[in-house]
Structure 1
Amino acid sequence: MSSAFSLSRARDVAEADQPTLAVRDAEFARAVLEGLADKPRHIPSRFLYDEAGSALFEEITKLDEYYPTRTEIALLRAYGDEITECVGPVETLVEFGSGSSRKTRLLIEALDGLETYVPIDVSESFLAEAAEGLEADFEDLTVRPVVGDFTKPRDLHGIEADQPLGFFSGSTIGNLTHEEATDFLANATRLLGPGSTFLIGVDLQKSLDILIPAYDDARGVTASFSLNLLSRINRELDGDFDTDRFAHRAVYNPRQGRIEIYLESLADQTVHVLGQRFDFAKGERIHTENSHKYSIEGFQDLARRGGWEPAEVWTDKAALFSLHLLRAA
């Protein structure tokens, strides 16, 4: 079966009921088929976050080994008033890759004059749940969710926002290559507009005895999160991956300054996706995710290339994590 036929099949199946879903399914099918056919093999990290993957990631954020979430939450609690003072009154908050919006509550509570919250995320179920909870807890807040890939150029679908504050938490920007991160920041500049500000969580460089366990925890939750990608392929793209014959691998690439995540074949084996055959040798890997670690100066240089001017930065005492406030240049 040819790739073109397979992609057409994926598109036809998806379009049967939901046009919006059809576009996402076709994109997933194309990325998987092209990525598995390439050498080295790769699948973009954004496809880790289906409903099951998003739930598993929320579990990861609560693990003892996973320092970014609790450290960022502590920074928001400690410096919320200072952040608000630096930003000034804000009517609209736009969050990229919002997930469950757990950390956003701290920012919403701190901001002066906030009227509208616009979360952008690929997980429709997480957006709906977060919107319902936030509107129940903040009576004067209007929540306007946008379902989609926050890394792509977009508009706010008629939502008027005068000098909004952008929020990008969890060091998700570290999942992007430096080129992708620069493009994302440039797109955010155009989306948020002149006079806007941007608060971004950025993970900092640190020793491997802290880094590696954060991406390969003792309970195996991160492994389940990675392997769910293969289960998703089985569910949505007629795949036949045996997840017991693949393993989660987290390695540090010192030249790139990043953690790299792979799914490694534990045996010589053959798998099928949408009728296409893919042969794996024992030890062969699928690259699924990067997590870049920055110095403060290194990230500020990246921000400038994306059209933002660094304004303030806050870090914890152990220098594990940082919050950067940027202004549109």
Structure 2
Amino acid sequence: MKSFLQEVSLGLSKKNKKLNSKWFYDFHGSKLFEQITKLEEYYPTRTEKKILRDNKIEIASKIGKSAVLIEPGAGDIKKIAIFLGSLDNPKKYIPLDISEDYITKISKGFKKKFPNVAIAPKAYDFSRNNKPPFKVNSSENIVIFFPGSTLGNFEKKDGIKFLKMLKSKFKAKMIIIGVDLIKDIPTLISAYDDKKGVTANFNKNILRRINTELGGNIDLNSYKHLAIYNKSKKRIEMRLKCKKNSNIKVNGSKYLIKKNEEIHTENSHKYSIKSFKNLANKAGWKIKKTWVDNKKLFSVHCLALDKSG
């Protein structure tokens, strides 16, 4: 996988070492994330699912008739199933995921549950702002479903680019999007550093992939999972802290990771309703409706094209 090697080589060569969180997700990593979503500490998934369940009729009404539903980073595709049955004659569902093996396998079960909905799973890396892996018909009612606060993994400027890309390349008329809200720091930290260590294993999966796919020799036990809240940037940062000086090898190249040096693997930005509205507006979208849980932990938004600009 050439792009994986290129990104790993670049990231480990930097003074402030970093690896892209999208490389967490092979089949094994996707299964680990499934486990994370079921953890007591991880509030986003169950909270968002409740919002979708409680408001599925209104969401379906906003989406309208004969929708072509596209879900970037679809994962286990369980959330769309919450309101799919409430939609008016949906035309097609296209789940996109970086792990082709995983999305293909998961989609088989979906077909059995919704036999009347055409499903066309595709392998796709949405972080690259690539053109869609299928032919787009701009006359269709194209709706993007982007749950799980995945937008928070983007830097703000890249999040704006992504939302613009959904409009320009995917020809989306609407977006249903999940956004994690700013809240108390202990709740945030525990969501990304669970007691069972599942998130730690998920974070280290990127190292395991380097070993198995790129000929690496990394000792996973030499790295400690960290979850830190950056107050100024309003985001959780996941890192891997090296416990001892390590000379690691990747595809024949060597990199020195010093004791206590950290590899930055993921950001998860948190928003207020106002700050997300500002970001959406900059990308040419306006909020038509916002749904929030009673504890104000999480939000789901319906975005429509802003035709005023």
TM-score (structure 2 length as normaliser):
0.96
Q: Percent identity?
A: 38
Q: 2:183 aligns with which of 206, 225, 234?
A: 206
2:126 match? 150
Residue 314 of structure 1 aligns to a residue whose secondary structure is strand
TM-score (structure 1 length as normaliser):
0.90
Pick closer, same or farther for the CA change 1:277–1:156 going to 2, 3 Å: closer
2:141 match? 163
Residue 228 of structure 1 aligns to a residue whose secondary structure is helix
Show the 5 A alignment for 1:1-329. Answer: 25-151=1-127, 152-158=129-135, 160=137, 162-193=140-171, 196-329=173-306
- Of 66-75 and 301-310, deviating more is 301-310
Alignment root-mean-square deviation, CA:
1.2
**Counterparts of 1:160 and 1:135 in 2: how far apart (Å)?**
23
**Counterparts of 2:113 and 2:11 in 1: how far apart (Å)?**
43
Q: Post-superposition shift, 1:156?
A: 4.7
The structure 1 segments of at least 4 consecutive aligned residues displaced by more than 4 Å after TM superposition are none
| Deviation readout 1:286-316 (Å, 9 max, x if unpaired) | 0000000000010111111112111100000
Q: Post-superposition shift, 1:284?
A: 0.2
Structure 2: 5+ residue stretches without partners: none
**Counterparts of 2:96 and 2:56 in 1: how far apart (Å)?**
22
Aligned AA for 2:160? Answer: T
Pick closer, same or farther for the CA change 1:315–1:203 going to 2, 3 Å: same
User: Does the 8 A contact of 2:163 with 2:280 survive in 1?
Assistant: yes
**Counterparts of 1:64 and 1:324 in 2: how far apart (Å)?**
25
Aligned AA for 2:84? Answer: I
**Counterparts of 1:132 and 1:165 in 2: how far apart (Å)?**
22
Residue 286 of structure 2 aligns to a residue whose secondary structure is strand
Q: Post-superposition shift, 1:163?
A: 2.1
User: Does the 8 A contact of 1:90 with 1:164 survive in 2?
Assistant: no
Aligned AA for 1:118? Answer: I
Pick closer, same or farther for the CA change 1:154–1:107 going to 2, 3 Å: farther
**Counterparts of 1:102 and 1:181 in 2: how far apart (Å)?**
24
Count of aligned pairs between the two proteins:
304
| Deviation readout 1:94-133 (Å, 9 max, x if unpaired) | 1111011011111212211102001111111221122211
**Counterparts of 1:198 and 1:61 in 2: how far apart (Å)?**
22
Aligned AA for 2:12? Answer: L
**Counterparts of 2:72 and 2:280 in 1: how far apart (Å)?**
16
Aligned AA for 2:78? Answer: R
